[in-house]
């Protein structure tokens, strides 16, 4: 990799979470090349901090080879609940290798070996392809994103109800994707995280009753925690998914209901060299926004 201003190709550069990787890389002096699916998204990517954009598709191997040409690093995140998510990731790993890219950061999922969930199983072939490649890979295993709470926030702020389709006392490991983005940027601009796989969680594994109390304090009025059935929750929060994707998401929620979600904050704090962002602060930000 060049000593200064490595060029990094970023998948999802205009997306709700991967879009946070673009400013994190720019802040560390990288030249960001956004992978966009249509030329119309170029402006959005540049406005988000990318230096350049290239039109490509994870299902089109030739376009990926062109996109990766001359790049020093690649950031990849798989589109959620797509039947060919693994193939898309493997296509990008192959293109990066062929193009002579040095570093590859893959935003996978916490506990990817929990393969009864489709969105976890789909990460395993991509990780395997990286482990079998010559790339200097860094694999990130983030917990549930704080940013998912944005969809629930209008009902919390205006209705005073925080509802999810699993029990109110279930504990879920979560993380602020801005911290995940910072770890990705460290991986792609330094050698500290080469050939590592890292679980990324914020401290605390709060249940909904505790999160409702944080929201109540931030808003200065009561917020109650409730449990909704999955269909009612989907009608309320409107995730951008088709019926098949919603079915797969409902399996994740059923898993949370049965087992919660474990996770440990030690690795994230060690990598960042500071305390990770907290859920309480994120909720205060939502309340101010």
Ligand X SMILES: NC(=O)c1ccc[n+]([C@@H]2O[C@H](COP(=O)([O-])OP(=O)(O)OC[C@H]3O[C@@H](n4cnc5c(N)ncnc54)[C@H](OP(=O)(O)O)[C@@H]3O)[C@@H](O)[C@H]2O)c1
| Binding footprint of ligand X on the chain (CB under 6 A) | 11-12, 14-18, 37, 57-59, 77-80, 109, 119, 142, 144-145, 148
Q: Which is nearer to ligand X, 148 or 281 (CB)?
A: 148
Q: Which is nearer to ligand X, 142 or 165 (CB)?
A: 142
- Rounded to a whole number of angstroms, the minimum distance from the CB of residue 169 to ligand X is 20
CA proximity to 269, closest of 278, 260, 261: 278
Q: Which is nearer to ligand X, 199 or 216 (CB)?
A: 199
- Rounded to a whole number of angstroms, the minimum distance from the CB of residue 254 to ligand X is 16
- Rounded to a whole number of angstroms, the minimum distance from the CB of residue 3 to ligand X is 30
Q: Which is nearer to ligand X, 35 or 216 (CB)?
A: 35
- Phi, psi (rounded to 5 degrees) for 205: -135, 80
**Local structure of residue 275 (DSSP, 8 states):** P
156 burial via Cβ count (<10 Å: 0-12, 13-18, 19+): buried
- Rounded to a whole number of angstroms, the minimum distance from the CB of residue 201 to ligand X is 11
- Rounded to a whole number of angstroms, the minimum distance from the CB of residue 28 to ligand X is 21
Q: Which is nearer to ligand X, 11 or 216 (CB)?
A: 11
- Phi, psi (rounded to 5 degrees) for 35: -90, 110
Q: Which is nearer to ligand X, 144 or 189 (CB)?
A: 144
- Rounded to a whole number of angstroms, the minimum distance from the CB of residue 147 to ligand X is 8
Distances (CA, A) of 285 to 48, 138, 194, 264: 20, 30, 33, 24
| Cα angle 100, 90, 139; round to 5 | 80
- Rounded to a whole number of angstroms, the minimum distance from the CB of residue 11 to ligand X is 5
Which residue's CB comes closest to ligand X? 15
Helices (H) and strands (E) in the chain, counts: 13, 11
Q: Which is nearer to ligand X, 219 or 250 (CB)?
A: 250
């Amino acid at each position: 990799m060049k000593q200064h201003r490595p060029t990094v190709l970023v998948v999802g550069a205009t997306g709700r979470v991967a879009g946070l990787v673009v400013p994190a890389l720019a802040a560390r002096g990288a030249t960001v090349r956004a992978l966009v699916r249509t030329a119309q998204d170029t402006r959005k990517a540049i406005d988000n901090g990318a230096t350049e954009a290239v039109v490509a598709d994870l299902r089109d191997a030739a376009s990926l080879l062109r996109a990766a040409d001359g790049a020093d690093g690649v950031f990849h995140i798989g589109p959620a609940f797509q039947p060919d998510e693994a193939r898309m990731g493997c296509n990008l790993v192959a293109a990066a290798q062929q193009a002579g890219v040095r570093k590859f950061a893959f935003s996978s999922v916490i506990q990817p070996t929990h393969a009864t969930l489709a969105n976890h199983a789909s990460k395993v072939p991509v990780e395997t392809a990286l482990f079998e490649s010559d790339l200097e890979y860094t694999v990130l295993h983030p917990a549930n994103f704080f940013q998912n709470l944005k969809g629930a926030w209008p009902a919390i702020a205006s209705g005073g109800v925080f509802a999810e389709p699993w029990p109110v006392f279930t504990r879920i490991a979560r993380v602020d994707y801005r911290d995940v983005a910072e770890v990705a940027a460290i991986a792609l601009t330094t050698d500290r995280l080469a050939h590592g796989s890292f679980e990324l969680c914020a401290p605390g594994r709060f249940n909904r009753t505790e999160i409702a109390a944080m929201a109540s304090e931030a808003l200065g009025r009561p917020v109650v925690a409730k449990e909704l059935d999955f269909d009612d929750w989907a009608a309320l929060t409107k995730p951008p998914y088709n019926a098949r994707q919603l079915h797969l998401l409902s399996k994740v929620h059923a898993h949370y209901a049965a087992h919660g979600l474990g996770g440990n904050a030690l690795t994230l704090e060690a990598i960042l060299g500071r305390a990770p962002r907290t859920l309480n602060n994120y909720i205060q930000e939502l309340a101010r926004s």
